[in-house]
A and B are shown apart, each in its own frame.
Chain A
Amino acid sequence: MSGVPIPYDVLRLIWWALLGMLLIGFAVLDGYDLGTAMLLPFVGHSDAERRQTRETVEPNWEGHQVWFILGGGASFAAWPLLYAASFSGFYIAMFLVLLALIIRPVAFQFRDKLPGYRWREFWDWGLAAGGFVASLVFGVAFGNLLLGVPFGFDSELRLSYAGNFFGLLNPFGLVAGILSVLMLAMHGGTWLALKADGAVARRAGHAARLLALCAAIVFALAGWWIATGIDGYAISGTVSHVAPSNPLAKAVTRAPGAWMANFETYRALIAAPAIGIAGAFLVALLPASRLRKLAFLSSTLAVAGIIATAGIALFPFLLPSSTHPEMSLTVWDSSSSQTTLFIMLVATAIFLPIILAYTAYVLRVMRGRVRLADVAQRDGHY
């Protein structure tokens, strides 16, 4: 396409990186909201402690959630085939995520409007369940990306999906789901240790250390499994990086350990899993009561490292097909047109820095600990 100043393959690479950034942005920012929600019933024992826990995330979670919505919107715009195949293929899983996310705004808005114990208990557990289900399903979906999912296209590129929801709940998918739950709960724990005070912060700190240790072990286990027990995918022969997007024009092979190829070719990329592991270990080792900022930072790095590891392993695949490997969606054959990728890049280059700036501003306005004494002093409903 003439008139677009950036080559098509470069745009595709940039959009692959941007999609990863959006996912990491979601996991880092909304991840601690989801993690806090999961920990809520366990770290908050009294009504005041529960409110304190919720108030650490209440002013900001709505903005954070937009990372996920934008992730959906950006994949629609930049990777329409990926958006269509993953959302329709993971239909029930997406539906569960939707319910989990829908319950959140409602739980936040509605809980404190009425005083009853049962009413509040219901919404607290609803919030926790929402956080758990969303985290679990995200992880399960990611795990299944590494296994490949059963889909194919007909000659008009109409997609058909041969699996169902229960097919996603295979051993590796579940391990990835558990890793996701552990990781985000750890992240929520380090956030609470930083943002709350008193008993809630202490309990959350302890929980975070334990969760971090488990997350590091499960991450290592999953890595070993991928290296030895799971068939990865690889494009065989050469494939044009600048051809129009049509996923029916390539050959793909499957082989054990193929997901490790990128780390073998580009040794520096091992930094991603290394940061993932090291971040989690740091959280586990740091004293819960001091160095709280460092613990939260380590947790952030762990989350980013773990997600980046999965993305790098898959590259250039976005959504491998287990039944028709040659129809797998890759970075080179499932993007939008060069024009659309370029226009979206311009929009992102303008607005993403602005978003980061005001997210930082909003967090700064709400800085400081949410103290139990302040929360308890207030009438908890209106």
Chain B
Amino acid sequence: MIDPTVVELSRLQFALTALYHFLFVPLTLGLSLLLAIMESVYVMTGRPIWREMTRFWGVLFGINFAMGVATGITMEFQFGTNWAYYAQYVGDIFGAPLAIEGLMAFFLEASFVGLFFFGWNRLSRLGHLVVTWLVAIGANVSALWILIANGWMQNPVGATFNPTTMRMELNSFYALLFNPVAQDKFVHTVSAGYVTGSVFVLAISALYLLRGRHVALARRSMTVAASFGLASALSVVVLGDESGYTATVNQKMKIAGMEAMWTTEPAPASITVFGWPDLATRTTRYAIEIPWVLGLIATRSIDTPVEGIDELVAEGRKHIEQGLIAYRALLTLRQNPNDEAAKTALANGAGDLGYALLLRAHSSDILAATPAQIDAAANDLVPDVPVLFWAFRIMAGLGFYFIALFAGAFYLASVRRLEKRWFLRIALFSLPLPWVAAELGWVVAEYGRQPWVVEGVLPTFLGASSVSVPTILFSLAGFVVFYSALAVTDVALMVRAIRRGPVGGPGGTE
């Protein structure tokens, strides 16, 4: 039997290492593209200030990139070390985009990043520009493949269960690739990265302008960040809305949790702007609602209802019962692989097999599960509503804030009044906000998917490796200590590089 402590510790370690990795990824995505833009301007105009800008922001990019790579290796291997059953159960599908990410994107990014720093004097202007673009393209394509893998966990298309190999197997690579969830998530995530990169450049430039240092560099950097950031912030909100719509189709429970929709409302549903989700009574107290809006966002119609949590739990109960039929057929097939009736029963119910597996948390013999145990398993489908509700609201609120911030910056830049001190202060203090939004976005997407590691296919607790508690405690403690030390060093070096500024920085000296 699977030890619940092992599962909880494995989840904690995965969440910590993923959230930590995701501190560096958005900045790599955004800053790499900003570097490419700045260097393009340099190559087109030939003005040295743009080269200086590329090299200065490049130093900061390099510090961040090193951390992103270092923490990314952990992610690639953790599926095997801590989630071995997950890895073998869905590796046939999930492994492919991860491997292709390496082949197509990460190799490109990692091979050329060295030339970005060391190639300034060895390459022509155009040659170096191409290198910078290849790094940026590599980073972005890398995100595409990772999100194709992640999108499959949210919406497992193009795969079927094979009773002989006891795992999910790929039947349509096309469906995996063009999974609508993956596409939406990709654009939403890279846009969030561009916002992060833009806020980073905006805030540090604001600091320089407030202190009257490196004014030429800061003013130009701010203008680039303002225009790029405005487009990205608009895109992140619009595409976030699009993934809300996509999620309604396949992750109704996540939407219901985010909105604290306890019961189905008559269409079109209203959106709860604020309120206090109460788990005990399954109501949202002090709710302030705007009629119609949720129905419009989630269903793109005025007559389709958005289902509530209670209704979804009742539906889940039916899925579990269907899943039990499939599970019984699977056991029969293992005794007699040629039983045609069992083959048909499994084929019909394979989509619900994962729901039957939810019972493992409540009963060692799931075929003998009592109605009470089935109810308990169905209730496990309810995510952590208050966390989702608030995480989503803060993230979305920040999204709108970024639009306002960049619109302001864009306006001030176009009337050449960027040096308003009040605005510069706002820009500076906005520095941590994109990271808050990005981390909360991860929480909504991944914590909101629980109890599933693969939606409707494999419950999270079943995916864990059979390793001992002390072993995980050892690695968890190791990661916490090691990563904390790295974080301190990283921030210290960033601060130092920002203090020094662009003067003579041989960040890319050859």
* Known A62-B113, A84-B84: A76·B165 in contact at CB below 8 Å: no
CB-CB under 8 A from A73, the residues of chain B are: 76, 95, 98-99, 101-102
CA distance A343 to B173 in the complex (A): 8
CB-CB under 8 A from A352, the residues of chain B are: 103
* Known A84-B91, A110-B493: A362·B111 in contact at CB below 8 Å: yes
Interface flag for B110 (CB, 8 Å): yes
- One of B59, B76, B467 near A72 (C-beta < 8 A): B76
CA distance A85 to B85 in the complex (A): 9
CA distance A164 to B103 in the complex (A): 33
Question: Which of A138-146, A218-226, A332-340 touches B?
Answer: A332-340
Q: In the bound complex, do residue B474 and residue A87 qualify as a contact, i.e. CB atoms below 8 Å apart?
A: no
- One of B67, B70, B471, B506 near A378 (C-beta < 8 A): B506
* Known A59-B114, A66-B110, A246-B165: A109·B486 in contact at CB below 8 Å: no
> How far, in Å, is B54 (CB) from chain A's closest CB?
16
Q: In the bound complex, do residue B466 and residue A80 qualify as a contact, i.e. CB atoms below 8 Å apart?
A: no
B430-485 contacts to A (CB < 8 Å)? 465-467, 471, 474-475, 478, 482
CB-CB under 8 A from A110, the residues of chain B are: 63, 66, 489, 493
Interface flag for B175 (CB, 8 Å): no
- One of B91, B114, B465 near A60 (C-beta < 8 A): B114
Q: Mark B342-367, 1 if CB is under 8 A from A, else 0.
A: 00000000000000000000000000
> How far, in Å, is B453 (CB) from chain A's closest CB?
14
- One of B71, B166, B505 near A156 (C-beta < 8 A): B166
> How far, in Å, is B283 (CB) from chain A's closest CB?
40
Closest A residue to B489 by beta carbon equals A110
Q: Mark A61-74, 1 if CB is under 8 A from B, else 0.
A: 11101100110111
Question: Which of A94-102, A174-182, A271-279, A310-318 touches B?
Answer: A94-102
Closest B residue to A155 by beta carbon equals B334
Q: In the bound complex, do residue B103 and residue A382 qualify as a contact, i.e. CB atoms below 8 Å apart?
A: no
Closest A residue to B162 by beta carbon equals A244
CA distance A87 to B98 in the complex (A): 16
Q: In the bound complex, do residue B77 and residue A87 qualify as a contact, i.e. CB atoms below 8 Å apart?
A: yes
> How far, in Å, is A54 (CB) from chain B's closest CB?
12
CB-CB under 8 A from A95, the residues of chain B are: 81, 474-475, 478
* Known A110-B489, A245-B165: A362·B76 in contact at CB below 8 Å: no
* Known A58-B114, A88-B465: A99·B102 in contact at CB below 8 Å: no
> How far, in Å, is A342 (CB) from chain B's closest CB?
9
CB-CB under 8 A from B126, the residues of chain A are: none
CB-CB under 8 A from A10, the residues of chain B are: none
Q: In the bound complex, do residue B80 and residue A87 qualify as a contact, i.e. CB atoms below 8 Å apart?
A: yes
Q: In the bound complex, do residue B80 and residue A109 qualify as a contact, i.e. CB atoms below 8 Å apart?
A: no
CB-CB under 8 A from A246, the residues of chain B are: 164-166
CB-CB under 8 A from A172, the residues of chain B are: none
Q: In the bound complex, do residue A347 and residue B500 qualify as a contact, i.e. CB atoms below 8 Å apart?
A: no
A129-175 contacts to B (CB < 8 Å)? 155-161, 164
Q: In the bound complex, do residue A355 and residue B478 qualify as a contact, i.e. CB atoms below 8 Å apart?
A: no
Q: In the bound complex, do residue B66 and residue A76 qualify as a contact, i.e. CB atoms below 8 Å apart?
A: no
Interface flag for A14 (CB, 8 Å): no
Q: Mark B77-99, 1 if CB is under 8 A from A, else 0.
A: 10111101101100111111011
Further contacts, 11 of them, CB under 8 A, given A78-B99, A95-B81, A343-B96? A63-B111, A65-B73, A78-B95, A84-B88, A87-B79, A98-B77, A101-B73, A105-B70, A109-B66, A157-B165, A366-B122
3 interchain residue pairs of minimum CB distance = A80-B91, A87-B80, A77-B95
A interface vs B, CB < 8 Å?
Answer: 58-63, 65-66, 69-70, 72-74, 76-78, 80-81, 83-88, 91-92, 94-95, 98-99, 101-106, 108-110, 113-114, 155-161, 164, 244-246, 336-337, 339-340, 343-344, 347-348, 351-352, 355, 358-359, 362, 365-366, 378-379, 382
